[in-house]
């Protein structure tokens, strides 16, 4: 029997230019994914990052977020996780993620 082990993350791409990052965050589904990742402050299994969309649509959204340099995919014990690249994004566009996540959290609190 093979033993599962943690794999190194795939090579990450640099954080994209600001218009690309903002375009990725413009979509409500992707913004919610980033909000959940930021609030967790740890990698999260893919299925915990979305509601009311199918897996192939979620995969499309993850791809856009990865191409913008906002998230990276990790494989841990055979499970796929997404991780927010907080430090890289903060370095590329200082203050953007905290501002956007804070606004998304306030909007979520008002809708609840």
What's the whole-number mean pLDDT along residues 35-52?
A: 94
Query: Domain segments of the chain: what residues?
Result: 18-107
Is residue 49's pLDDT more than 90? Answer: yes
Residues linked to residue 72 through DSSP beta bridges, in sequence order = 83
- Summarize pLDDT for 64-89 with one digit per residue, the tens: 999 999 999 999 999 999 999 999 99
- Band (pLDDT 50/70/90 cuts) for residue 13 is confident
Angle between helix axes 28-40 and 96-111 (nearest 10 degrees) is: 100
d(CA 82, CA 77): 14
pLDDT at residue number 3:
43
pTM value is 0.86
Domain 18-107 has CATH 2.170.8.10: no
């Amino acid at each position: 029997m093979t033993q599962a082990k943690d794999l190194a993350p795939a090579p990450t791409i640099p954080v994209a230019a600001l218009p690309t990052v903002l375009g990725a965050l413009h979509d409500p589904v992707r913004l919610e994914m980033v909000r959940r990742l930021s609030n967790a402050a740890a990698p999260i299994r893919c299925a915990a990052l979305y509601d009311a969309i199918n897996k192939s649509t979620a995969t499309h959204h993850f791809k856009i977020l990865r191409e913008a340099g906002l998230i990276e995919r990790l494989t841990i014990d055979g499970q796929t996780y997404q991780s927010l690249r907080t430090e890289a994004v903060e370095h590329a566009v200082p203050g953007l993620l905290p501002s956007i996540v804070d606004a998304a959290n306030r909007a979520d609190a008002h809708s609840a």
